[in-house]
Amino acid sequence: MTISAATIDRLLSKIREDSDGKRRRRAGVGSAIRRSIPIRTFDGWHDPSPGFFEVDMVEHCGGVKHGGDFVHTLVLTDIASGWTECVAMPVRDQSLIVEGFAKVALDLPFRMLGVDTDNDSAFMSQAVFDYCKKQGLQQTRSRAYKKNDQAWVEQKNGSIVRRLVGYGRLSGISATRTLAQLYAASRLYINFFQPSFKLKSKIRDGAHVQKKYHSPMTPCDRLLARPDIGEATKTALRRQFEGLDPVRLLREIRHAQHQLADFAKQRSEEESVLPDADLAAFLRSLSNAWQDGEVRPTHRKSLAGSRTWRTRADPFEHVWHLVERWLQTEPAVTAKELMARLAAQVPDVYAGASQLRTLQRRVKQWRAEQAKNLVLGALKHFDNNESEVSV
């Protein structure tokens, strides 16, 4: 009785192989690559220079995935500045990840130095490993099932990707192109005009955690304030910032969101309703946009029709004729008194007070119907008398 479960499995492994004829699957190439990539935890950054990115993928499958290929977003977040880049991919594929890395490297105002990913097989692949080695990128990975190791990019998945795109289901090349147009405008709006907090220190005292943050700044401002960024890069950033129009970028974002909302609802292009193309009209609409409710088209919920059926069983179905007789005899009786009478007659069903609110609604509805019948009946009688006099 002192033998352990692991020892039993080890002793029976040969017998199980002989009985079912199956051999244990050998570890593939991904396992060897995963072992060769070092692990970096959430506290292993130590204020790095700009260029070290946490990388993750977001799948736009519309909730529960039932099968099929869906559009993915490759998200890269710089640890030092918070600079975030998003790349739209039609499917989850390692070759597309390599192309996404190359595209981001060309768009960045600074040099990419390293990438930190999770243990997804698309990242732990030969193509990504060879690209990082060829480009001189330091490749690290998080611990398995430890999402806090990638807290920087996980936060951007919610605050940027989900806030812009929502949770709709997207698939196909057309949806991917529209998503790419959205990211082309949003990357400039977020990195140049949208300030964010950055954690300065975190002190733990037992269960209490005290966090301090730097003053909110945009990723562009953080890059301009760093001494390890060259003056040529800072000059290029200032020149690019002076040529941007935040209202135009916001209009392009809303335009792309309208199209993505149509894709998520599976509408045809002829049925889609796009905002006014006039920039001046869009600027005027910003003053009263709050009156229309949710501004982002990707987060607007379709109006559901009025429900005419019950979703729960009526607790007073078998005794309502009795309650109605009490109401007709004593019109001023309260629902609380009626509930006490029911509890006295049927204590097994109405002993508690959990159904009192339901009875109050039913009594209120009954009295409203009785008052309506009285008023309409009197008006009908008055109309009949008027018609008799006129004749």
Give me the pLDDT at residue 26, please.
53
Neighbours of 51 (CB within 10 A): 21
Q: DSSP characters for 234-264?
A: HHHHHHHHHT--HHHHHHHHHHHHHHHHHHH
> Are 273 and 340 found together in one domain?
no
Give me the pLDDT at residue 268, please.
39
Cβ within 8 Å of residue 260, ≥6 positions away: 165, 166, 168, 170, 175, 178, 179, 182, 297, 298
Give me the pLDDT at residue 225, please.
94
Residue 175: closest CA among 46, 88, 287: 88
Give me the pLDDT at residue 201, please.
87
In a domain, 161, yes or no: yes
> Are 41 and 130 found together in one domain?
yes
> Are 62 and 162 found together in one domain?
yes
In a domain, 384, yes or no: yes
Neighbours of 22 (CB within 10 A): 8
Q: End-to-end CA distance of the chain, in Å?
A: 106
In a domain, 295, yes or no: no
Task: Find where tokens 């990388």 sit.
Answer: 55
Neighbours of 20 (CB within 10 A): 8
Residue 72: closest CA among 164, 171, 139: 171
Give me the pLDDT at residue 271, please.
41
Task: Find where tokens 């946490």 sit.
Answer: 54
> Are 95 and 202 found together in one domain?
yes
In a domain, 377, yes or no: yes
Along the 391 residues of the chain, how does pLDDT read in single tens digits?
A: 889 998 998 888 888 777 666 555 555 556 889 999 999 998 888 889 999 999 999 999 988 777 778 999 999 999 999 999 999 999 999 999 999 999 999 999 999 999 999 999 999 999 999 999 999 999 999 998 888 999 999 999 999 999 999 999 999 999 999 999 999 999 999 999 999 999 888 888 888 989 999 999 999 999 999 999 999 999 999 999 999 999 999 999 999 999 999 888 875 344 444 555 577 777 777 777 777 777 788 887 766 677 777 788 888 888 999 999 999 999 889 999 999 999 888 888 887 778 899 999 999 999 999 888 888 776 666 666 665 555 4
> Are 269 and 330 found together in one domain?
no
Q: How many structural domains compose the chain?
A: 2
Distance CA 181, CA 185 (A): 7
Give me the pLDDT at residue 253, please.
94
**Of 282, 304, 330, which residue constitutes the final position of a domain?**
282
> Are 79 and 163 found together in one domain?
yes
In a domain, 124, yes or no: yes
In a domain, 310, yes or no: no
Question: Exposed, middle or buried: residue 296 (CB in 10 Å: 0-12, 13-18, 19+)?
Answer: middle
**Phi/psi of residue 271, nearest 5 degrees:** -85, -15
> Are 273 and 329 found together in one domain?
no
Distance CA 371, CA 368 (A): 5
Cα torsion 290, 295, 299, 304: sign: positive
**Of 228, 254, 282, which residue constitutes the final position of a domain?**
282
Residues 248-255: contacts with CB within 8 Å, 24+ apart? 248/279, 249/185, 249/186, 249/188, 249/189, 249/193, 250/189, 251/275, 251/279, 251/282, 252/181, 252/184, 252/185, 253/164, 253/182, 253/185, 253/186, 253/189, 254/282, 254/295, 254/296, 254/297
Q: Name the DSSP letter for residue 136.
A: T
Give me the pLDDT at residue 38, please.
94
> Are 142 and 211 found together in one domain?
yes
In a domain, 385, yes or no: yes
Distance CA 57, CA 15 (A): 42
> Are 276 and 355 found together in one domain?
no
DSSP-based three-state secondary structure for 297: helix
Distance CA 251, CA 277 (A): 9
Task: Sheet with 72-78: list strands edge to edge.
Answer: 84-89, 72-78, 52-59, 114-117, 138-141
> Are 91 and 160 found together in one domain?
yes
Give me the pLDDT at residue 73, please.
96
**Of 282, 306, 334, which residue constitutes the final position of a domain?**
282
| Residue pair 156/85 in contact by the 8 Å Cβ criterion | no
In a domain, 227, yes or no: yes
> Are 250 and 196 found together in one domain?
yes
Residue 228: closest CA among 85, 111, 55: 111
> Are 220 and 335 found together in one domain?
no
Supply the range of the domain harboring residue 368. 320-390
> What is the maximum alpha-carbon separation in the chain?
107
* pTM for the predicted model, two decimal places: 0.70
Give me the pLDDT at residue 390, please.
52
Give the distance from CA 268 to its chain's centroid: 24
**Helix 94-107 and helix 126-135: axis angle, to 10°?**
30
Two tokens, residue 164 = 């812009």
CATH code where residue 61 lies: 3.30.420.10
Give me the pLDDT at residue 24, please.
56
Residue 152: closest CA among 301, 71, 47: 47
Give me the pLDDT at residue 245, please.
94
